[in-house]
């Protein structure tokens, strides 16, 4: 029998950027065991997707070439594997695929049921697909690392969020404001009003001396920094932290790792905590419900058809998205 084909974008080796991504026709994957086959309606690009292509996570990722990148998707369940018990054909869902296998820049993809959650009609495919990596990272940083309670209970915390206009940052501001927090944020001048509209109490332009110093305009010291950009040294954070303040670094480079070890083993009250996302289906479900209830929203930077996903890839590599970049099959 002739195999059914789908349109996808994939690369065959490390490097190459936008030019390394090729439009291809490949077999539609088959779900096994606890997997579901999805007809995709939207996918998003995260910086980790092109970092994998650059070889920054070799030899772990990708598991093999050729590789169809992207993990965060929304779509409709077309087929279920024999061990699937909580999803059925026709369900509209949001899913996070495995970084080992990828598969998001395609018309169809297989997802594990454990990281596939229902998408109610109030949440569009694009709003849902944007959530997994960016939303789950913001949620973990705030609730687990910074210990903010999103029901608003607990003593008020002063939080700094860097790159608050980006994918992770824009969710982090909104989630932080569900808790009892005062939020200081950094972003570029063009996004100051946007970041205020997400709920930030004060916003610094990162290209000004005040922004570069990270000093709170109201003189607050931070209990936690959700650090969503790169290249800010510990010595810039340190004077702005409360006695027990923490920097949660979601892109820790070698110097951040060394600082975090030194702070831990010298029993420093001020800590630097590297964060690695370990996704949980229940947290993804929670985020989708927050979008449904209008408690947080996905801001969409731009939408690109799958056949022009290379433009979306280039945009993400450029590093100037406001919110999330979406690809639609």
Ligand X SMILES: NC(=O)c1ccc[n+]([C@@H]2O[C@H](COP(=O)([O-])OP(=O)(O)OC[C@H]3O[C@@H](n4cnc5c(N)ncnc54)[C@H](OP(=O)(O)O)[C@@H]3O)[C@@H](O)[C@H]2O)c1
Binding footprint of ligand X on the chain (CB under 6 A): 46-48, 133-134, 137, 162-163, 165-169, 186-188, 191, 206, 228-230, 250-251, 275-277, 316, 319-322
* Residue 10 phi, psi (nearest 5): -150, 165
Q: Measured from the CB of residue 248, what is the shortest distance to ligand X in angstroms?
A: 9
* Residue 12 phi, psi (nearest 5): -115, -5
Token pair belonging to 97: 């695929």
* 3-class secondary-structure state, position 42: strand
Do the beta carbons of residue 40 and residue 74 sit within 8 Å? yes
Q: Measured from the CB of residue 323, what is the shortest distance to ligand X in angstroms?
A: 7
Distance CA 301, CA 59 (A): 32
Number of H helices, E strands in the chain: 11, 15
Using the minimum distance from each CB to ligand X, give the nearer residue, 80 or 250.
250
Token pair belonging to 29: 């994957």
Give the number of other Cβ atoms within 10 Å of residue 307's Cβ.
12
Using the minimum distance from each CB to ligand X, give the nearer residue, 15 or 253.
253
Which residue's Cβ has the minimum distance to ligand X? 188
Using the minimum distance from each CB to ligand X, give the nearer residue, 29 or 166.
166
Do the beta carbons of residue 289 and residue 118 sit within 8 Å? no
| Residues constituting the chain | 329
Q: 202 - beta bridge partners?
A: 184
Using the minimum distance from each CB to ligand X, give the nearer residue, 2 or 231.
231
Q: Measured from the CB of residue 138, what is the shortest distance to ligand X in angstroms?
A: 8
Q: Measured from the CB of residue 236, what is the shortest distance to ligand X in angstroms?
A: 11
Q: Measured from the CB of residue 99, what is the shortest distance to ligand X in angstroms?
A: 10
Using the minimum distance from each CB to ligand X, give the nearer residue, 152 or 253.
253
């Amino acid at each position: 029998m002739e195999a059914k084909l789908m349109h996808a974008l994939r690369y065959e080796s490390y490097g190459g950027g936008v030019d390394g991504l090729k439009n291809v026709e490949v077999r539609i994957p088959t779900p096994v065991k606890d997997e579901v086959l999805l007809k995709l309606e939207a996918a998003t690009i995260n910086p980790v997707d092109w970092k994998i292509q650059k070889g920054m996570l070799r030899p772990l990722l990708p598991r093999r070439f050729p590789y169809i990148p992207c993990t965060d998707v929304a779509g409709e369940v077309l087929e279920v594997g024999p061990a699937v018990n909580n999803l059925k054909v026709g369900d509209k869902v949001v899913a996070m695929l495995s970084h080992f296998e990828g598969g998001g820049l395609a018309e169809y993809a297989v997802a594990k049921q454990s990281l596939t959650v229902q998408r109610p009609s109030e949440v569009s495919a694009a709003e849902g697909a944007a959530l997994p990596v960016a939303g789950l990272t913001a949620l973990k940083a705030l609730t687990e690392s910074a210990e903010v309670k999103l029901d608003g209970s607990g003593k008020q915390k002063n939080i700094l969020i860097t790159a608050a206009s980006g994918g992770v940052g824009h969710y982090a501001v909104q989630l932080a404001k569900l808790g009892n927090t005062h939020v200081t944020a950094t972003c570029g001048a063009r996004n100051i009003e946007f970041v205020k509209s997400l709920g930030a109490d004060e916003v610094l332009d990162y290209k000004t001396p005040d922004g570069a110093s990270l000093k709170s305009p109201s003189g607050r010291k931070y209990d936690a920094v959700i650090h969503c950009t790169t290249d800010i040294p510990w010595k810039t954070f340190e004077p702005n932290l409360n006695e027990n303040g923490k920097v949660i670094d979601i892109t820790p480079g070698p110097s951040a790792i060394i600082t975090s070890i030194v702070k831990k083993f010298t029993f420093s009250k001020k800590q630097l905590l590297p964060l690695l996302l370990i996704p949980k289906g229940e947290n993804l479900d929670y985020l989708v419900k927050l979008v449904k209830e209008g408690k947080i929203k996905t801001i969409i930077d731009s939408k690109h058809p799958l056949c022009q996903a290379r433009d979306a890839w280039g945009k993400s590599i450029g590093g100037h998205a406001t919110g999330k970049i979406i690809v639609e099959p």
